[in-house]
Amino acid sequence: MIDFKENIAESIIDILENNLKESNISKTDDINKDVIKEYIEKPNNKENGDYAFPCFKIAKTLKKSPQIIANDIKEKIQIDNNVIEKIEVVGGYLNFFVNKKTLIKEVLEEIELKKENYGSSEEGKGKTVIVEYSSPNIAKEFHIGHLRTTVIGAALYNIYKFRGYNTIGINHLGDYGTQFGKMIEGYKRWGNEYNLDENPIEELTKLYIRINDLCKQDEKVLEECRENFKKLENGDEYCVKLWEKFKSLSLKEFDKTYDMLGVKFDSLKGEAFYADKTGEVIDILEKNGKLVESEGAKIVDLSDKGMPPCIICKSNGSSIYATRDLAAILYRARTYDFDKCIYVVAYEQNLHFKQIFEVAKYLSLDKKYTDGLTHVAYGMTRVASGRMSTREGNVIKVNDLLAESIKRVLDVINEKNPEMEEKQENAKKIGIGAVIFNNLCTTIIKDQIFDWNLVLNFNGETGPYIQYIYVRTKSVLEKVEEIPNLKDLDFNLLNDEASLNVIKNLYNLSEILQSVVQKNEPSLLARYLIELAQSYSNFYNENKIICEDKKLQDARVFLTYVTGIVIKAGSKLLGIEMPDKM
């Protein structure tokens, strides 16, 4: 498919390079095709064309006014009329209008060829990306606070893979640390009071809250918990057996949630896997002269980086999760030879990742690996009552949340379309899709307050709205005998504004997915799907699709067909399934 921005950039760069020679100006970094392509933007006002090149970006280099540069380029540019049909100068902007027939033909042919793979690419060929996401703590509830990392990470995993990267999804389970010393101590004291065969996570959570409360009241109990963890690290048979039991029960419960969300992982190696690998981290840091003692603990001093010290080893000899994260970096570099290692973790851990990324530079690793370490921070999910905490026992379980969402959708279906077939299955897709989309529709760094009125709004900018538009495309296709043949279409019949808006949105998918990868921001795809759905809704309202003019009907039906393909495929990348009926 034609890359219009690439085409424009190629046409501009030759003129600019000649200008440099004529003016005896040395070639600079901002006068090259890739930079020029980055400068090309899409005007907010459609009257200013499909693309605009802001000449003020290079005015200082060329030592000319933007207006003069724009006029000069317009006068000298040689560009295929089948690609760009018109060029205008407005102020210091050079505005380009793409050839509509070519655009329509290119988009429809590409989607017909690639179907659900439309928008995929090989940009990541030969590159490996690790995405670490979800990473709940075992023996604790999988609550709404874990939901964002899970769905953000799953979306990034899907999109990186779709763009050709060798993608590894890792669930770095929180299965180590003092909290397990607490769980072991609680079980020692009151284990026979809790039935772990039924609702195991709920029972373990009650146990954790109880021992945590006791630790607040009695420092000696907290010390006993710390000793339990030290025993666990040293392989104490009783402690290891209990830990394995807690982990096994937890994973069975987590799998129920992952199955509902359609989330999978390539690796479930958690903190415990790296426990016996922390010694090498300590050895390397000592060898490189980076470890110092502080109050009995071993730390890396990061004061020259404007950060507090990174604790590597506690005063009692126990490792800390920073050490295990560093051991994981060593292991992943050697095992996967990654180009990028992404951590989808809440912004509350910003300092932690800044510290370990800095300390990783002292592990004698190739710069490729330390440069590839990336923290994708996201905002917290809050409820009306405020912050959630397992210790305080005020969390919303994800399974309960999803079940409630499905129930609410089913209530709407029973009220408005009681005869619908496969009501439960459709309600599941809509209810779960609504929750996933709610977590992805805004810039991920923003905090969220969960509100049912927003999540399940069928008319707003929500998951159910996108699903509704998809179902509308399906209902149109059900009214015709077969999908028209592309080679028989008259592309000129899709030249109206409403049709062109849909086609322009369809064209934008690849660029949107490229931006998602560059910025690690899946909300860009979520917003794109809303815009595409809205443009199709407008097209549907403005145009009679099933009509007496067979050629016109075929053109509009085919546009409906390809729009449905893209909505479904794009939503799948976010982890959202399309229902058959609504």
Is a pLDDT exceeding 80 seen at residue 561?
yes
Q: Quote the CA–CA distance of 88 and 86 in Å, as a whole number.
A: 7
Q: Which of 557, 581, 579 is nearest to 568 (CA)?
A: 579
Q: Coil, strand or helix: which one is 342?
A: strand
pLDDT tens, position by position, 163-208:
999 999 999 999 988 889 999 999 999 999 999 888 898 899 899 9
- Where residue 535 falls among pLDDT bands split at 50, 70, 90? very high
pLDDT tens, position by position, 78-96:
989 999 999 999 989 999 9
Residue located via tokens 């000793």: 227
> Cβ distance 39 to 120 under 8 Å?
no
Q: What is the mean pLDDT of residues 539-563?
A: 96
Higher-confidence position of 178 and 68: 68
> Cβ distance 382 to 144 under 8 Å?
no
Q: Report pTM.
A: 0.92
Angle at CA of residue 402, ends 399 and 403, nearest 5°: 85
Q: What's the length of the chain?
A: 582
What pLDDT is attached to residue 402?
92
Alpha-carbon 442 to chain mean position: 11
Q: Cβ neighbours of residue 339 under 8 Å, at least 6 residues apart?
A: 127, 128, 129, 368, 372
Q: What is the mean pLDDT of residues 199-224?
A: 92
Q: How many CB atoms lie within 10 A of CB 335?
A: 12
Q: Quote the CA–CA distance of 23 and 69 in Å, as a whole number.
A: 13
Out of 239-243, 444-448, 465-469, pick the least confident: 444-448
pLDDT tens, position by position, 395-443:
678 888 899 899 999 999 999 888 888 999 999 999 999 999 999 999 9
Q: Quote the CA–CA distance of 387 and 404 in Å, as a whole number.
A: 21
Q: Which of 201, 178, 333 is nearest to 257 (CA)?
A: 201
What pLDDT is attached to residue 30?
74
Q: Quote the CA–CA distance of 569 and 509 in Å, as a whole number.
A: 11
Q: Quote the CA–CA distance of 510 and 38 in Å, as a whole number.
A: 15
The crossing angle, in degrees rounded to 10, of helices 497-507 and 550-574 is: 30
Amino acid identity at 395? V
Q: Quote the CA–CA distance of 338 and 329 in Å, as a whole number.
A: 10
- Where residue 481 falls among pLDDT bands split at 50, 70, 90? confident
| Long-range contacts, 515-521 (Cβ 8 Å, 24+) | 516/156, 516/159, 517/123, 517/124, 517/159, 517/160, 517/163, 517/165, 520/156, 520/342, 520/374, 520/376, 521/443, 521/444
Q: Which domains does the chain have, with CATH numbers?
A: 4-98 (3.30.1360.70), 133-382 (3.40.50.620), 455-574 (1.10.730.10)
What pLDDT is attached to residue 395?
65
